């Protein structure tokens, strides 16, 4: 696990905070695609997984982001190392 890697967050129009999954998975040393599949199979987590267009440097990228409250409350229970 790396604590020196940044994890990008975004806010929706309701000011809820979401964390970019690829950043979080990289920081935890796990495979992003596998974790996204697990999240998508779980009804409650999948409902809070959203796609945002995010600026990274000079590019705009489409990113999968999970609501921050679920990150702490629920997602970690389903974490399975690659």
Q: Is residue 2 part of a domain?
A: no
27, with CB counted inside 10 A (0-12, 13-18, 19+), is middle
Determine the structural domain holding residue 57 and report its residue range.
9-78
pLDDT in tens, 20-74: 999 988 888 889 999 999 889 988 889 989 999 988 889 999 999 998 876 655 5
Q: Is residue 4 part of a domain?
A: no
pLDDT band of residue 77 (cuts 50, 70, 90) is low
Confidence (pTM): 0.77
Note whether 82 and 31 are within 8 A (CB): yes
Overall domain count for the chain:
1
Predicted confidence at residue 81, as pLDDT, reads 59
Q: Is residue 52 part of a domain?
A: yes
The full 3-state SS of 44-74, as one line of letters, equals HHHHCEEEEEEEECCEEEEEEEEEHHHHHHC
Q: Is residue 67 part of a domain?
A: yes
Which tokens sit at 64?
Answer: 């999968």
Q: Is residue 31 part of a domain?
A: yes
């Amino acid at each position: 696990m790396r604590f020196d890697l940044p994890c990008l967050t975004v806010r929706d129009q309701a000011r809820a905070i979401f964390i970019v999954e690829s950043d979080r998975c990289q920081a935890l040393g796990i495979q992003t695609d596998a974790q996204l599949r697990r999240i998508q199979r779980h009804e409650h987590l999948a409902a809070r997984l959203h796609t945002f267009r995010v600026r990274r440097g000079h590019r705009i990228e489409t990113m999968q982001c999970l609501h921050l409250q679920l990150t702490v409350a629920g997602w970690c229970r389903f974490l399975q190392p690659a």
